[in-house]
Amino acid sequence: MAGATRPGDRPISPFVSIWRWHVTMASSILHRVTGVGLYGGMLLLCGWLMVIAAGPEAYEPFGAFLAGPIGQVGLYLLVACFAYHLANGIRHLVFDTGHGMKPSDAETTAWFAILFAIAAPIGLWALVTFGG
Amino acid sequence: MSKDKSTPLGRVRNHGAAAEGTGHFVGQRVSAIALLFVATWFVLSAALSMDGPTYLAAIDFISQPFNAVGLILLIMVALYHMRLGMGEVVNDYVHKPFAKMALLLLNTLVPLVIAAGAIFAVLLVNFGV
């Protein structure tokens, strides 16, 4: 056949292992990852409440951990996880109504959720550190 | 026409659609909508009103009635929501029957125990000696 492409150049079926990475894929995976992270965060919050109820001596090492570098970075990451899960959760609630499913819209909102997750913890950190 | 779409053999073996997916779907979304408000309130309120992770700041925060009620709501709704979500993750990625059952059981019992402990802790800070 004239003009036929060689077999190697033909489009092939979108097999999973060679599929291009989409931001919508990343947004879906991140939703799960941040959800699992927040699971840990809730266990931490509940542990925090219990050691506070147990008294100042019991709270001492827990408070020192939270105030230390690992605790502070952990809290920062939890805020980032929360911001992402919140933004992407709203996105999914909108999807449930049947809106925003056009590929270009879904990609735009996925980027928004990711950027919000980067901006929100920085904003909150700045507000806590420099705010009144 | 029968409402049950599974075959008689499938029903006997208790396999096929469990016909309880809608409850999971609705529960996940109702708790998500509640958490939009409760969890956002907690993150902002805790970060902005507590002066560092000190014992006194925590007691101050928890002993305000509005915060105590908010915390108890957060514990109940968030643990419910995360149990549904983690159950989905386990069902998707864990295929060995024993490990799957064990993780699903833990995923049900751990949030229950944690919720009881954490709610009691909030009450103890407010009403304890």
Domain borders along chain A are: 22-130
CB contact under 8 A, B36 and A63: no
> Does the domain at residues A22-130 carry the CATH identifier 1.20.1300.10?
yes
Residue in A closest to B31 by C-alpha: A89
* Averaged pLDDT for residues A12-28: 78
C-alpha gyration radius of chain A: 22
A43 within 8 A of A62, measured Cβ to Cβ = no
Residue B3 belongs to a domain: no
**Helices B21-49 and A69-96, packing angle to 10 deg:** 140
B58 within 8 A of B50, measured Cβ to Cβ = yes
Please give the pLDDT value at position B18.
Answer: 64
pLDDT higher than threshold 70 for residue A17: no
pLDDT digits (tens, 9 = 90+) for B67-92: 999 999 999 999 999 999 999 999 99
Name the domain count of chain B: 1
Lowest mean pLDDT among A2-6, A94-98, B44-48: A2-6
Residue B108 belongs to a domain: yes
Q: Which of residues 87-126 of B touch A (CB under 8 A)?
A: 89, 110, 114-115, 117-118, 120-122, 124-125
Query: Residue A95: which pLDDT band, with cuts at 50, 70 and 90?
Result: very high
Mean of the per-residue pLDDT values of chain A: 90
Tokens of A69: 């570098």
pLDDT higher than threshold 60 for residue A1: no
Residue in A closest to B114 by C-alpha: A46
Residue B31 structural domain? 8-127
A73–chain B Cβ distance below 8 A for any pair: no
Distance CA B52, CA A67 (A): 7
B32 Cβ neighbours under 8 A, 6+ residues apart: A89, A92, A93, B81
Look up tokens 């939009």; give the residue: B36
* Averaged pLDDT for residues B13-27: 76
A116 within 8 A of A84, measured Cβ to Cβ = yes
Residue B114 is part of a domain; what is its CATH number?
A: 1.20.1300.10
Residue B69 belongs to a domain: yes
Distance CA A61, CA A51 (A): 10
Task: Please report the number of interchain residue pairs, chain A to chain B, with beta-carbon separation below 8 angstroms.
Answer: 88
Least Cα distance to B82 among A50, A22, A34 occurs for: A34
Query: Residue B1: which pLDDT band, with cuts at 50, 70 and 90?
Result: very low
Residues of A in contact with B120 (CB under 8 A): 53
* Averaged pLDDT for residues B102-120: 97
* Averaged pLDDT for residues A106-132: 93
